[in-house]
Amino acid sequence: MFRSACHEFPMKANEVDGSVVEELNPDRRLLDGGQAHVSPEHAARGRAEIPGAGAGTLAGQHHSVIGYDGITRLAIMVTPEWEGNVRDQASEALSMIRTILRHQEEPMVLTMQNVFVADAADAPAIRRLFEAYFGEEMPLTIFVVQPPCDGAALAVEAWAISTRKVSVAHLGPHLVTVEHDGLRWVHASAGTLRRAGLTAFQQAEQTFASLDKTLHAVGVPFRDVVRLWLYQGGITEVEDGVERYRELNRGRTDFYRHVEFPSNPLARHANGSGMYPASTGIGTGEHGLVLTALAIQTSRDDVEVLSLENPHQISAFDYPAEYSKKSPKFSRAMAIRIADHVTTWVSGTASIVASETVFAGDIEKQTHQTLENIENLIAGENFSRQGWADAGATLDDLAKVRVYVKRAEDYEKCRAVCEERLGTIPAVYALANVCRPDLLVEIEGVAFSSIQKQSDS
């Protein structure tokens, strides 16, 4: 057995500088205390370097702390600041993550991470370094060729959880389970399918079947999946006269014919045929298909899931045939109600009203419209409209976002709009092709909000 190197990874000298550690404050604290809180230090400082820190320290990190039921979760985003080679940058990213974890008041472990890689040729070396560092405690790790917009060789989005009340099982390279308080979370992946000669439809068929097999190995029917990510190479390329993304949708639809999502025992307000997992379908620079999923299981009666649709958009699964022979089968968001709080996983969202792209060619207006779509989607009025009158969230409740930018020249303008609307928040900006030629940006995120308690009359 390969012994975990997690506690032996070399620490850079400047990483233990006291002034750096004291300044390692979260961007946001959510749920504990019942209200979202944006750290004033970070709000004022933005992306400026942490005082007392030199080059290559913690200036490239942002994280949120989410507390509930005696458990702490972290949403972490790190981008190396060094201009060294790819190994140096990967080592720095790991050092930053470890420092963030060590700064917490209780022991933490990573459960899932996405590594956004600038160059496909560097992915194997980065993977080897991560595997050597984590050993048997490797979280579910997805390596995606989506270059960080700021020019770094890689960026990392990671989720961590405190372990005093939690059991985390690393069951192989494609499967991690997290159990606490009668809840079971399952992070699973189908791996990366790069077989030459397969069509987009065949890739979808085989990848969904592989993910289904991985889930069933630990007793998880596909109906329990609440969130999916699909990274497709050549997403807007035409293959035998049909766009690859449309063929991916065809493969997903065919697979879903055998999945009864409304039969999920947690879906007590199921929207009939519209009950699908939240999803992101986004381009990647490496040809093939990467598929990963999050599922939840419990017998608790205070846990429920709800698929959300945007009142200003036609549901993706009802799109007209001009967008795809078989429409994309996903919900705009999936909300998970657990006791007195709600976690809302927001699907990849773009500048679409009804089913039409709006503000073609204008990155700033598209970014504003995308954020407005997210704001409307998670608002209390929309939750009430779909059955949960005591739930709702705002942009301040977002723990993190991913921002996929199509054109490198749009990055600064897009980021400026996001920072104007969102303030300081853990965010990764990555170059990626969006599923329509006229869409310039896509944004996804996760919100944590408290249930509104009824006042006594």
Position 5 pLDDT exceeds 80: no
Distance CA 317, CA 331 (A): 8
Question: In the predicted model, is pLDDT for residue 452 greater than 90?
Answer: no
Closest to 406 measured CA to CA, from 154, 156, 230, 235: 235
**Res. 8 pLDDT band, cuts 50 70 90:** very low
Asked if pLDDT for residue 225 goes beyond 60, the answer is: yes
Model pLDDT, residue 244? 94
pLDDT of 4 > 90? The answer is no
**CA-based nearest residue to 247, from 355, 322, 328, 145:** 328
Say which DSSP state 316 is in: G
Beta-carbon-side half-sphere exposure of residue 55 (alpha carbons within 13 Å): 5
pLDDT single digits (tens) 80-103: 987 789 999 999 999 999 999 999
Of the given ranges (44-53, 403-412, 428-437), which has the lowest mean pLDDT?
44-53
Tell me the percentage of the chain whose pLDDT exceeds 70: 84
Q: Is 46's pLDDT higher than 70?
A: no
Higher pLDDT: 248 or 56? It is 248
- Average pLDDT value for the chain: 87
| Tokens standing for residue 51 | 């005082």
Which of 351, 375, 377, 353 is closest to 436 using CA atoms? 351
CB 405 within 8 A of CB 432: yes
